[in-house]
Amino acid sequence: MTVADALSDRRSCRSFTDQPLAPGLLDDLVDRARRTPTAGNCQGVEFLVLEGKGVVDYWDVTLPVDLRETFPWPGLLVAPVLVVPWGMTDRYLDRYGESDKVNAGLSRSAGDWPVPYWLTDAAFAAMALQLLVVEAGLGCCFFGLFGHEGAVAERFDVPEGARAVGAVAIGHPDLTTARSSGSAERGRRPLDEVLHRGEW
Ligand SMILES: Cc1cc2nc3c(=O)[nH]c(=O)nc-3n(C[C@H](O)[C@H](O)[C@H](O)COP(=O)(O)O)c2cc1C
């Protein structure tokens, strides 16, 4: 499978079987996903990998039981693996204070950064992970933490200052219960609408 194939084939999968991943595969996927570019070569993305009770706890923290009956994607909760890439803010603040980076003028204060590179890098890693999952013949869905980032950090002892861009559910797609979504049904915008040649 080429990268182009993986990009074309990938669609968000929101319905999984409980079949576990092949032994060793998850570590291999994360090891490859962390090779994406990072600002200043900070390598400041770390991965919270959840299986078994970790997955149960994740949903307990982010989706109260009384809301599950109306949750439109029950098959998402079955995914055997969740990976949450975190941008380790302090690594970036430290790195851009080093002598070869200090001229970039990025402040020690995270809120002053025009682009928070820790989020950029975490998003890159999340995308690479999704392509690798497709290449491995599995399904995945990237989804937001919404207001639950702090609660997830607390439950799993994530260090202060770390920021999550989202979570990636990974597993074997359950084609028997798969259904479409309002988002998925939106057509792809024509290339001419998004490609601006020379000027907008
Ligand atoms: C930043 C971001 C947040 C997303 N959040 C959710 C989410 O909370 N729940 C969900 O089911 N899908 C979520 N998605 C998946 C999108 O809905 C999906 O990528 C989009 O509809 C296009 O469909 P496709 O991934 O099948 O191409 C998110 C995707 C991104 C990039």
Burial class from Cβ neighbours inside 10 Å (0-12, 13-18, 19+) for residue 111 reads exposed
139 lines ligand 1 (CB under 6 A): no
Residue nearest to atom 23 of ligand 1 (CA): 184
Cα–Cα dist 59/196, whole Å: 42
55 within 8 A of 79, measured Cβ to Cβ:
yes
Q: What per-residue confidence (pLDDT) applies to 178? A: 77
* CATH class of this structure's domain 3-175: alpha beta
Best residue for ligand 1 mutational test, from 15, 63, 78, 183 (most atoms within 8 Å of Cβ): 183
Domain ranges of the chain: 3-175
CB atoms under 10 Å from CB of 122, counted, come to 27
Best residue for ligand 1 mutational test, from 8, 12, 13, 67 (most atoms within 8 Å of Cβ): 12
Q: What per-residue confidence (pLDDT) applies to 60? A: 97
Per-residue pLDDT of the chain (200 residues; tens, 9 = 90+): 999 999 999 999 999 999 999 999 999 999 999 999 999 999 999 999 999 999 999 999 999 999 999 999 999 999 999 999 999 999 999 999 999 999 999 999 999 999 999 999 999 999 999 999 999 999 999 999 999 999 999 999 999 999 999 999 999 999 988 777 888 889 999 999 999 999 99
Q: What per-residue confidence (pLDDT) applies to 56? A: 98
Cα–Cα dist 14/118, whole Å: 27
142 lines ligand 1 (CB under 6 A): yes
Q: What per-residue confidence (pLDDT) applies to 150? A: 98
Q: What per-residue confidence (pLDDT) applies to 47? A: 98
Q: Does an H or E element contain 73, and which? A: none
- Distances, alpha carbon 130 to alpha carbons 57, 64, 121, 142, 195, in Å: 23, 27, 14, 8, 24
CB atoms under 10 Å from CB of 116, counted, come to 18
Q: Both tokens of residue 68?
A: 């599950």
Cα–Cα dist 31/86, whole Å: 15
Q: What per-residue confidence (pLDDT) applies to 184? A: 82
User: Which is nearest to 26 in space by CA: 170, 151, 141, 155?
Assistant: 170
Cα–Cα dist 100/109, whole Å: 18
Q: What is the distance of C-alpha 152 from the center of its chain?
A: 14
Q: How are beta strands 162-164 and 81-88 bridged, if at all?
A: antiparallel
**Concatenated DSSP letters for 74-131?**
GGGGG-SEEEEEEEEHHHHHHHTTSTTTGGG---SSGGG-SS-HHHHHHHHHHHHHHH
